[in-house]
Amino acid sequence: MLTYQTWKKPSVQFEIDPVYKGALNVLEWTYDHYGESVVYACSFGIEGIVLIDLLTKVQPKATIVFLDTAVHFKETYETIEKVKEKYPGITIHMKKPELTIQEQAETYGDKLWERNPNQCCQIRKLDPLKETLSKGNAWISGLRREQSPTRSQVEFINKDDKFQSVKICPLIHWTWKEIWRYVHKHNLSYNPLHDQGYPSIGCFHCTTKAIDINDLRSGRWKGKGKTECGLH
């Protein structure tokens, strides 16, 4: 089995078919290789909606982890409930941080996301995901190369030094238009905030409408000099 500890660049080649851009082939390999131990860490943005539909074609009883920071938009939580109804076989773990928002304020001061967003992301996202991934050898992510310069070199199968795991990214060749085309073709429910100028959706304190139509993540951590929560 390919693990972080036994990492050697995979020799497996995946066909980049015109319909799924290799995504289904990658997912089939992933579940064959890792079985039930692999988890999909999903934010339930539009890429997540597509990836959930794809992975349930391969593994209808897939395990999904949502990093429930307790400060997501209500629309995000409503979207999760719709996904549960559509795919009753999947298991969605709502992974919460060790500290509640109140406990975080008591320990680090109020509104930590304004003063030190990196530390807030560490507490509410990175630490919970690290704990989750410590129990397995691989995880699935919805990264696409088109999303940002920092994601442009991602491969289908990646050595993840941050979490000492193997990160699988089935959607790397999908474009923004292809994601939406798939959603509409299959009539998939998605977060309504996408229709209100939010191409990338995170916690409500740190997410605004996109300020640059050519940068899908330009509404994240506006004015903080930060474009990633640190998961990738």
Active site residues: 229
Q: Which amino acid is at 49?
A: I
Please list the alpha-helical segments (H only) found in the chain. Answer: 23-34, 46-58, 74-86, 101-108, 112-115, 117-121, 127-133, 176-185
CA distance 183 to 180: 5
CA dist., res. 199 & res. 143, Å (int): 14
Retrieve residue 153's tokens.
């070199």
Q: Are 227 and 121 in contact (CB under 8 A)?
A: no
The continuous run of DSSP H or E covering 93 comes out as strand 91-95
- Spatial neighbors of 131 by CB under 8 A, at least 6 apart, are 95
